[in-house]
């Protein structure tokens, strides 16, 4: 059974999927390379899923994943936000070099999500704040200063509003504008409350809409669009079943600290594997319609803050003329 893939449907984060798979196996997953750096309250984890078999075990596509975790963002510290934007700009610039994107490559930014649902509005808010320049290159190319590249951006809306799949809209735009690179921004699902609104993931595997909440829809990938796709995501929601499962962990730790009878109190729950217990919680909540997607009550401010961080970082990473030490000044 050790070669079975884990159940990773409750998370879009490769970092979490790898944690689950490693815990189930009791060892690191062969074919997954991991590097962790931590500095000034920013933890950066680089995951390379090298093989198809490793991808199957982890439950994520083979590829390169960079995850930044910044718990301090919950304090709404503007200085820390600027610092994270600058660090994100550096990580993203390195990402562009790694996949061989030229400094003058044309970029199309796609803001996925629903304007009308705060937890799903990350992509549209980022698009509103990125520095777009394609119209200058088209209308007055001789007046564009050195250090800017051709960038266009669009928020295509959601299927329920437009009646059109995002991938179909993007395919039409790609056919007409012929970008060299697509950057897609989307809200994600996490299985950790601590990572909601404090984590940014960059991946070269494209976007698979709704994968973290169980939807199977046509994605935005190089195979579909013919153009490399970098995905940027922030977890903004978590399942109620995950919250219940985490609460059981917290209670177990509390009982073990406070009493010698923890085994009797927890009973069979304490003997289930993490995956078995999570599946049990889901089986209890699903039939009564209570396995809800949950987001923090401060989501309005969180989503604006993290969207501005991403937009600021993209502006600095994509345009050499933008001061990477003062990236926040370039959002509007």
Q: Are residues 256 and 274 in the same domain?
A: yes
- Is residue 283 located within the same domain as residue 303? no
DSSP state of 29: P
| Residue 94 falls inside a structural domain | yes
Dihedral sign for Cα 285, 287, 289, 291, please.
Answer: positive
Q: Is residue 183 part of a domain?
A: yes
CA–CA gap between residue 57 and residue 104 (Å, rounded): 38
Regarding whether 257 and 223 lie in a shared domain, the answer is no
55 and 113: one domain?
yes
Give the per-residue pLDDT at 3.
44
Q: Are residues 283 and 226 part of one domain?
A: no
> Would you say residue 1 lies in a domain?
no
CA distance 6 to 250: 23
Pairing of strands 107-111, 151-154: parallel
Q: Do 268 and 134 share a structural domain?
A: no
Q: Verify that 107 and 92 share a domain, yes or no.
A: yes
Per-residue model confidence as pLDDT tens for the chain (332 residues): 344 444 445 789 999 999 988 887 888 999 999 999 999 999 999 999 999 999 999 989 999 999 999 999 998 899 999 999 999 999 999 999 998 999 889 999 999 999 999 999 999 999 999 999 999 999 998 888 989 999 999 999 888 889 998 999 999 999 999 999 999 999 999 988 889 999 999 999 998 755 444 555 678 999 999 999 999 999 999 888 888 887 888 888 888 888 888 888 888 777 777 777 777 887 888 777 777 888 888 899 999 999 999 999 999 999 999 875 555 444 44
Alpha helix (H) residue ranges in the chain: 14-25, 52-58, 78-98, 122-129, 134-139, 159-162, 166-177, 222-225, 240-258, 262-266, 274-285, 299-318
Q: Using DSSP bridges, classify how beta strands 32-39 and 42-49 pair: parallel, antiparallel or unpaired.
A: antiparallel
Owning domain of residue 284: 242-288
Q: Are residues 320 and 284 in the same domain?
A: no
Q: Do 193 and 299 fall into the same domain? A: yes
State residue 281's pLDDT score: 82
DSSP-derived secondary structure letter, 219: -
Q: Is residue 215 assigned to a domain?
A: yes
- Tell whether 147 is covered by a domain: yes
Shared domain for 123 and 260, answered yes or no, is no
CATH number (domain holding residue 320):
3.40.50.1450
User: Can you tell me the distance from the alpha carbon of 76 to that of 82, in angstroms, rounded to the nearest whole number?
Assistant: 11
Phi and psi at 65, nearest 5°, equal -125, 130
CA 141 to each of CA 48, 138, 151, 162, 277: distance values in angstroms, whole numbers, following the listed order:
39, 6, 13, 34, 60
Beta carbons of 195 and 100 less than 8 angstroms apart? no
Is 3 inside any structural domain?
no
Alpha carbon distance 43, 172 (integer Å): 38
Q: Could you give the CA distance from residue 31 to residue 53 in angstroms, rounded to a whole number? A: 8
One domain, residues 207 and 269: no
**Number of domains comprising the chain:** 2
**What contacts 112, CB < 8 A, 6 or more positions away?**
123, 155, 156, 166, 184, 185, 186, 187, 207, 209, 220
φ and ψ at residue 130, rounded to 5 degrees: -80, 155
Same domain, 251 and 298: no
Number of residues assigned to the chain: 332
76 lies in a domain?
yes
CA angle 268, 269, 272 (to 5 degrees): 90
Give domain status of residue 181, yes or no: yes
């Amino acid at each position: 059974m050790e070669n079975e893939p884990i159940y990773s449907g409750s998370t879009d984060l490769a970092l979490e999927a790898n944690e689950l798979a490693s815990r189930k196996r009791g060892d690191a997953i062969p074919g997954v390379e991991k590097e962790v750096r931590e500095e000034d309250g920013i933890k950066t984890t680089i995951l390379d899923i090298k093989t198809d078999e490793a991808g199957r075990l982890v439950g994520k596509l083979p590829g390169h994943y960079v995850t930044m975790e910044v718990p301090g963002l919950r304090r709404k510290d503007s200085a820390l936000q600027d610092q994270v934007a600058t660090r994100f700009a550096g990580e993203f610039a390195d990402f562009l070099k790694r996949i061989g994107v030229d400094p003058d490559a044309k970029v199309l930014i796609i803001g996925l999500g629903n304007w009308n649902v705060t937890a799903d509005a990350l992509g549209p808010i980022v698009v509103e704040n990125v520095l777009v320049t394609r119209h200058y290159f088209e209308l007055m190319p001789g007046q564009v200063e050195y250090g800017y590249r051709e960038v266009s951006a669009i928020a295509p809306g959601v299927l329920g509003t437009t009646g059109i799949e995002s991938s179909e809209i993007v395919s039409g735009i790609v056919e007409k504008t012929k970008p060299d690179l697509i950057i897609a921004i989307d809200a994600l699902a996490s299985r950790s409350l601590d990572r909601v609104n404090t984590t940014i993931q960059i991946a070269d595997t494209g976007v698979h809409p709704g994968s973290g909440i169980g939807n199977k829809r046509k994605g935005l990938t190089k195979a579909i669009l013919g153009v490399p796709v970098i995905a940027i995501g922030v977890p903004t929601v978590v399942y109620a079943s995950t919250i219940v499962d985490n609460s059981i962990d917290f209670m177990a730790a509390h009982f073990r600290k406070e009493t010698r009878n923890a085994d009797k109190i927890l009973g069979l729950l304490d003997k289930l594997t993490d995956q078995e217990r999570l599946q049990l919680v889901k089986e209890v909540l699903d039939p009564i319609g209570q396995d809800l997607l949950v987001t923090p009550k401060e989501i309005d401010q969180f989503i604006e803050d993290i969207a501005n961080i991403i937009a600021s970082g993209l502006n600095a990473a994509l345009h050499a003329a933008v001061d990477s030490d003062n990236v926040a000044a370039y959002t509007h």
